[in-house]
Structure 1
Amino acid sequence: MSRKMAGKEPFKKKLQKEMTSFIEDPPPGMVLDASRAEQNLNIWTIYMQGADDTLYAGEKFQLQIKFGNNYPFESPEVTFVGQNIPVHPHVYSNGHICLSILSDDWSPALSIHSVCVSVLSMLSSCKEKIINE
């Protein structure tokens, strides 16, 4: 195996392990599009449903997670995509999510499962839908 390939293997192994774990035990109201993720391990699509008894109950969202080659040492890019972007103070109209663990507070110890739980928690704790341009 070449040095170039050897450097990418841990990245792919970690993603494969995280994907399996996510499929087996997803956060509440979330489903990973496994067939898409298997076609391109660097881009995941997660279908998400707003939690019961919240402002987003019954709403459906789509998260896109893009992994760079330095994952898990650099945070993934997590955005809302599709027709229904949540109206939330920490979500821009283009789907960009303002969440500290996706930037300054990122740690390689975090998993995609924990990131998704944080996004769900962020939405669930919202008291008022406010548009963030």
Structure 2
Amino acid sequence: MSVSTRRLQKELTDIQKQGTPVGIKLLNADDFQTWHLSLEVLGDTVYQGEVFALKFRFDSSYPISSPAVQFVVDDTWKAPVHPHVYSNGHICASILGNEWSPVLSVISVCVTLQSMLASCKKKELPPGNDRYVKNAPENPKKTRFEYHDDNV
């Protein structure tokens, strides 16, 4: 069994035994390549009453390398309108890039994204959204985001 599979098995077991934080639900974890979770922002926020889905994709070097994480955009789900979330669901967040650490987990990423959304004061797309979406790779990990705005 690979390190990635062992780690994901432990995370899944922890979720099954301990549950998830309020507003986060495991939707699907049928294998150790792709998981889906739902995310609801709690409290009085610009996203009140909205629920979003996240897709986590893991490669064989997880948790040494970050998972590819994006909001699901399809007939059922939409991405939040947020200055760090592109309309194709790609997320510009340093913990998914240069600030990733193997101590982070699927749930800790969800909690961080929940907090990022909760702190948003105005729904707006990132600058250059249309250009990015038109040219974006399918895998958000192949994008080299610049992390320069921690105020959103």
Task: Check whether TM > 0.5.
Answer: yes
Q: Corresponding residue for 2:8?
A: 15
SS at match of 1:115: helix
Name the counterpart of 2:88: 94
Q: How many residues align?
A: 123
- What TM-score does the superposition give when structure 2 sets the normalisation length? 0.76
Find out whether 1:73 has 2:64 as its counterpart. Answer: yes
Kindly state the Cα deviation for residue 46 of structure 1 after the two structures are TM-superposed. Answer: 0.3
In structure 2, how many angstroms separate the alpha carbons of the residues matched to 1:100 and 1:22?
A: 24
- Secondary structure in 2 matching 1:48: strand
Under a length normalisation based on structure 1, what TM-score does the superposition of the two structures give? 0.87
Gaps of 5+ in 2: 130-152
Q: Which residue of 2 aligns with 1:53?
A: 44
Structure number with the higher helix fraction is 1
CA distances 1:101-133 after superposition (whole Å, capped 9, x unpaired) = 100000111111111110000000001111121
**Which of the numbers 38, 44, 50 marks the counterpart of 2:35?**
44
Of stretches 98-107 and 14-23 in structure 1, the one that deviates more from structure 2 is 14-23
- Secondary structure (helix, strand or coil) at the match of 1:14 reads helix
Gaps of 5+ in 1: 1-5
Give CA deviations for 1:62-101 in whole Å, capped at 9, x if unaligned: 0000011100000001100033210000001110011101
**Cα distance in 2, alignment partners of residues 100 and 27 from structure 1:** 22
